[in-house]
Amino acid sequence: MSQTHPFSGLIVVDFTHVLAGPACSYYLGLLGATVIKVESSTKGDAIRHRGGTDALGASRGMSTAYLTQGAGKRSIALDLGDDADFETMLGLLSVADVFVENHRPETMKRLGLDETRLSQKFPHLIHCAMTGYGRGGPQENTSAYDVNIQASCGLMDATGTADSGPMRAGAPVLDYGTAMAASFAISAALFERSKTGKGTFVDVSMLETGLSLMSSTITDYLKTGNAPKRRGNLANSRSPGAGSFPCRTGVISLGVNEEAHFQSLARSFDCDHWLDDPRFSKPDARKKNAADLVAEIEKKLLEKDAVEWEAILQKNGVPAARLRSLPEALASDQVVTRGFVQTTDDGIQVPTVPFRLGGAAHYTPSSNAPKLGENSTDVEAWLNDLLNAKGD
């Protein structure tokens, strides 16, 4: 088996739209799976026409939001209300290993593609359903986008400052977090199938993904009864040396949570006297005198630019990073060296997965993001060959 593409030979039917669902199948494709994207023959994935700032691309059904997780797939356009097209869909599911969808349960039932019917007809199939709130409960058929889930899970309420009020995270973190959770769940289901020979239904909740991203905060609340408060850029550790601080130019984030970190910080600042200062020499004392310590840290940081302090502090083992814009982050030596951004054959730069397997340098999509129905003829011919082979 390939160490770099463990899902080679796996067939994934992608009946998803917007961001979370398509991202999940995109990750599977990067790791070698054959991904067939099934789209409505009338409009296709709605995200083709919205998202991002490329209005021209969006008008052509190739928005940047679609391109982000569209590469490496083959698109077939079907009208599931048409008997022949519905049979084509069933044919795809009969040869597929994984079925990924993110529609409401009532929609899937209306289409005749709900988990009960599919598990009976295709017992080998791993059916992954990604929804806003998960199966069961009063909201299982409630529509949801990332912004709705950020609001409903408590993440938005915990973000921002006392003055700003609740704030949404600046990126659709719940969409992509859910995609990764679904990919993890599918991998677990595939492992289970390798032992039992049977597929399963995977129920992924965006709401619970959001709650999972707040796990330590949840445990703290459940144990103490203290609901989280908006703390701006201060770290959850509540250590006086953890947070974001202005420098002569720029801002630096410090994560001084351990005794060794504080000692390294003091030496980096040429402030060894802090280690003997009764206000700062012990962790309890630093918490008691947090305002004094923060004032001292702020004073020292104003002596240099953030770019200078970052190099000094990181060299001395202090968890520190300067605030970067997205363009700066993408251009950083670390991101470039890791190859997180890859280029498809048509010159579109897209993110890849945030991990490596077996020493792989990076994962590049196997093909460009397809136009709506671009591969319909080829996919149908490929499917017929597979079905004929099964019949033999």
pLDDT at 336 over 80: yes
Strand 126-131 relative to strand 201-205, pairing: parallel
DSSP conformational letter for 350: E
Once rounded to an integer, what is the mean pLDDT over residues 214-237?
89
Helix (H) or strand (E) holding 203, with range, is: strand 201-205
Helices (H), the chain: 20-30, 55-59, 64-68, 83-95, 105-111, 115-121, 146-152, 173-196, 206-212, 215-224, 259-268, 283-288, 290-301, 306-315, 326-331, 333-338, 376-391
Report which of residues 178 and 230 the model is more confident about: 178
* Residue 369 DSSP symbol: P
Residue 3, pLDDT score: 63
In tens, the pLDDT along 157-185 reads: 999 998 999 999 999 999 999 999 999 99
Q: What is the pLDDT of residues 350-383, one digit of tens each?
A: 999 999 988 777 899 999 999 999 999 999 999 9
Q: 286 with 236: CB under 8 angstroms?
A: no
Helices (H) and strands (E) in the chain, counts: 17, 11
Give percent of the chain with pLDDT exceeding 90. Answer: 91
Q: Say what the pLDDT of residue 2 is.
A: 47
Through-space distance between the first and last CA atoms of the chain, rounded to whole angstroms: 27
Q: Could you give the domains of the chain?
A: 11-213+337-391 (3.40.50.10540), 241-246+251-322 (3.30.1540.10)
DSSP state of 371: P
Of the listed ranges 239-248, 274-283, 311-320, the one predicted with least confidence = 239-248
pLDDT at 1: 37
Task: Tell me what the mean pLDDT of segment 73-91 comes to.
Answer: 98
Q: Cα(104)–Cα(42) distance, rounded to whole angstroms?
A: 20
pLDDT digit string, tens, across residues 285-333: 999 999 999 999 999 999 999 999 999 999 999 999 999 999 999 999 9
| pLDDT exceeds 90 at position 234 | no
- Over the stretch 2-44, which tens digit does the pLDDT of each residue have? 468 999 999 999 999 999 999 999 999 999 999 999 999 998 9
Q: Give the confidence band of 337 by pLDDT, cuts at 50, 70, 90.
A: very high
The strand pair at 320-322 and 34-40 is best described as unpaired
Name residues whose C-beta falls within 8 Å of residue 157's C-beta, 6 or more positions apart in sequence: 151, 166, 228, 230
